[in-house]
Chains A and B, each alone.
Chain A
Amino acid sequence: MDLVVNGEAYRHDGQATIADLLRECHAEAGRTAVMVNGDVLRKGSFETVRLSDGDHVELIVIAAGG
Chain B
Amino acid sequence: MADGLKLGDRIFSSRLLLGTGKFSSTDAMIRAVRASGAELVTVALRRFHPGRPVDDVLAPLAAIEGLTLVPNTSGARDAGEAVRAAQLGRELCGSPFVKLEIHPNPHHLLPDPIETYEAAKILVGEGFLVLPYMPADPVLARRLEDLGCAAVMPLGAAIGSGQGLTTMSMLKLIIRDASVPVIVDAGLRSPSDAALTMEIGGDAVLVNSAIAAAENPELMASAFAAAVRAGRDAWKAGLMPQSDVAVATSPLTGFLAGGEAG
A in complex with B: yes
Name A's B-contacting residues (CB within 8 A).
6-7, 25-27, 31-33, 35, 38, 40-43, 58-66
| CB of B173 within 8 Å of the partner chain | no
| Inter-chain contacts of B26 with A (CB < 8 A) | 64
Name B's A-contacting residues (CB within 8 A).
19-23, 26, 29, 42-51, 54-55, 57-58, 69, 71-72, 74, 84, 87-89, 91-93, 159-160, 206, 208-209
Closest Cβ of chain B to A30, distance in Å, is 9
| Inter-chain contacts of B48 with A (CB < 8 A) | 6, 25, 27, 32, 59-61
CA A43 to CA B93, docked complex, whole Å: 11
Closest Cβ of chain B to A25, distance in Å, is 4
In contact, B92 and A66 (Cβ under 8 angstroms): no
Total number of residue pairs linking A and B with CB closer than 8 Å: 93
CA A35 to CA B76, docked complex, whole Å: 15
- A32, closest chain B residue (CB): B48
| Inter-chain contacts of B206 with A (CB < 8 A) | 66
In contact, A26 and B50 (Cβ under 8 angstroms): yes
**Residue from the list B44, B54, B92 in contact with A65, Cβ < 8 A:** B44
| Inter-chain contacts of B69 with A (CB < 8 A) | 62
In contact, B20 and A66 (Cβ under 8 angstroms): yes
Can you spell out 8 A-B residue pairs with CB atoms less than 8 angstroms apart?
A32-B48, A33-B92, A35-B84, A60-B45, A61-B92, A64-B57, A65-B19, A65-B72
CA A37 to CA B55, docked complex, whole Å: 26
